[in-house]
Structure 1
Amino acid sequence: MAQSLEALARRTTSMQGIRSVVHTMKTLSVINAAPYEHAARAIEAYHETVLNGMHAFLSQSAKVNTGLVQEAAQVVVVFGSDHGLCGNYNEVIAAHVAPFIQSDLAGQGTLLCIGAQMVDALTDKGLTIDACFLPPASVDGIGRLANLLTQRLDQIRAENTKHEIAVTLAYSARVSGGGWAPKIAPLLPLNPALVAELQAKPWASRSVPSFSMPPGELFMALIRKHLFASLFRAAAEALVTENAARLALMQQAEQSVDDRLDALKSEMRNLRQSEITTELLDVIIGFEALKKPRRPAPNPSE
């Protein structure tokens, strides 16, 4: 259906406004991802300090049993988004974690979720959410979220008769090529390979580590710090990949808008050329009509 030049101009103006919004969202995604990426790197250094503390403790302690107790309370923490414009980010993570919960955990255990949109995605998979936490709105909020999750895990552990919990994290992690992929990472109990490595690793110092706290309390304090650092890193990683997903989506949208703008501009040029051609033809036809000699009017007396 043919459109007027004025209608095409209005559509072009509207599309340029949409492109401005998409470009702004694209820029915000890049800006927002940077602080979370710095936070993820910072918590790695803190976590390394915690692991050094574990190394010092284990180098001076007897063998630690990290085996999973049969009656341990199973807890799965799923990190999602509470904001839009990131495509199927939450749905991909939900589709990845749902078979693990339904098969490996037989649908049992406690399911903690970060983000209201992730709650909807997991509910669509037939899963029941035990608690939902708001995702961080800034870098400062990552520590708040990690503290809330740590407190909730302490509460679940205290309510379990054996006072043991098995924690699994499900979040999105960066992969090579600038993309992201859902990841399921067991957190507690400690990986026996990690404990064996720390115990076998020689202490590279002439100063022998010593501690005054009871060994059990010190080890639990180190576990709590390890738990906090792992939750903090998972939250930061999830926020980085969320903004990466939003950036990729905005790049696709920007390309689509640019293609549509090019099509509208081409259509406007063709329509303008058609109108100019029509006007020129009208002028030529009028000019040719003026060039024809007029017949003399008949004389009534003849």
Structure 2
Amino acid sequence: MDSLESLTRQIAGAKDLDSIVRTMKAMAAANIGQYEIAMESLGDYWTNVSLGLVAYLKNIGLENLDVQPNNETKKTNKSVCAIVFGSDQGFVGQFNDSLSQYVLKSLGTHQGRTEIWTVGVRVPLLLTDMGLTVTKQFDLPNSIKAITALIGSILVQVEENREKGNVDEYYLFHNHLINEGSYEQEKSRLFPLDAKWLQEKGQLKWPTQKQPEVIGDSGKLIRRLIREYLFVTLYKTCTESLASENLSRLNAMQRAEKNIEELLDEIGHTYHRLRQSSIDEELFDVVSGFTALKKEKE
């Protein structure tokens, strides 16, 4: 049975832990706000860049778009690169586990060569335990300002693979917010920008009745559009993942806070019951002693 001293230490430890949980909860809520603002600001820009690419490709025809190596041939089993955005820190519930299961399920039916690039240190460990091989790992940015450096590193690797013809298709795997308080896994196609990509973006409609025209050097224009599209798509994916990570951490901290409150309530009842029992015993000893002394005097 726990003593009063032991219960006192447990209460103090639970209160310290509750203070840490509240701090992490506040930090997660603040981070969600800044990432959501970044997502909103990127939304219109991403749409505009996508509209520009769709309009360009529809006007010149896909056969004039040179985004693949010249020596590429049709392959029955295409090589695929999966870029998976996870987390560095813990206390995020099923954030990494659910994403890893989603990646395993999506890549399970692929017959060709597969590369897996990960962002964050948690996901590669889970994917490796599932039997998948992670070929490249990138550090997860800890702020909005650090995202640009990460995207630059990924695009450098993409360009190197494009020149060598090592990878045919790139896919992004990440968690993204679906409504207030929840998120889900998503798979999206990053590259190449071909007929399949154009079909996926076919729902984008030009906002006016006037047909767009290409002005100036069309070669420079399409390269800039492609470069900007890849950058903003990766940036948008990263901010969505970071927002989902902090939401998952916020939910985990809310559950932890509730559990700590229940624990404190339980320990508090035990402490007060044991203390009252101790007081009752002391009072009983005092009364017994007084009664014994009174009998001696009589």
Gaps of 5+ in 1: 296-302
Q: Which amino acid aligns with 1:117?
A: R
Note if contact 1:50-1:226 (Cα within 8 Å) is conserved in structure 2.
yes
Q: 1:202 to 1:95 in 2, by over 3 A?
A: closer
Moved over 4 A (4+): 194-198, 205-208
* Aligned pairs (5 A) from 1:64-213: 64=62, 70-71=74-75, 73-104=79-110, 106=111, 108-160=113-165, 165-190=168-193, 191-194=197-200, 196-197=202-203, 201=205, 204=208, 209-213=213-217
SS at match of 2:109: helix
Alignment of 1:15 with 2:14, yes or no, is: yes
Code of the aligned partner of 1:92: S
- Relative to 1, partners in 2 of residues 1:220 and 1:197: Cα closer, same or farther, differing over 3 Å? farther
Q: Does residue 1:258 correspond to 2:264, yes or no?
A: no
Give runs of aligned pairs for residues 210-225 of structure 1, distance below 5 A.
Answer: 210-215=214-219, 217-225=220-228
How far, CA to CA, are the matches of 2:32 and 2:210 in structure 1? 43
Amino acid at match of 1:167: Y
* Residue 55 of structure 1, CA deviation: 4.8
Give the one of 240, 245, 257 matched to 2:248. 245
Deviation at 1:248, TM superposition (A): 1.1
Question: Where does structure 2 lack aligned partners over 5 or more consecutive residues?
Answer: none
In structure 1, the partner of 2:50 is 51
TM-score normalised over the length of structure 2: 0.86
TM-score normalised by the chain length of structure 1: 0.85
In structure 2, distance between residues paired with 1:102 and 1:219: 35
CA distance in 1, matches of 2:153, 2:39: 18
> 2:212 and 2:109 mapped to 1: Cα distance?
46
Q: 2:79 & 2:161 partners in 1: Cα distance?
A: 8
**Are 2:183 and 2:244, in contact at CA under 8 Å, matched by a contact in 1?**
yes
For 2:192 and 2:171, locate their aligned partners in 1 and report how far apart those are by CA, in whole Å: 9
Shift in Å, 1:165: 3.2
Q: Which entry has the higher C-alpha Rg, 1 or 2?
A: 1
> Which shows bigger deviation, 228-237 or 5-14?
5-14
Take 2:289 and 2:159, find their aligned partners in 1: how far apart are those partners? 92
CA-to-partner distance for each residue in 1:6-38, whole Å, 9 max, x for gaps?
Answer: 221122111111111111111111122222221
Shift in Å at residue 208 of structure 1?
5.7
Q: 1 CA distance for matches of 2:97 and 2:255?
A: 19
Which secondary structure state, in structure 1, belongs to the residue aligned with residue 60 of structure 2? coil
Counterpart AA for 2:19? S
Mapped partners of 1:150, 1:246: distance in 2:
29
Q: In the TM superposition, what is the alpha-carbon distance from 1:236 to its structure 2 partner?
A: 0.5
Please report the RMSD computed on the Cα atoms of aligned residues, expressed in angstroms: 2.6
Q: Please state how far the C-alpha of 1:96 moved relative to its aligned partner.
A: 0.8
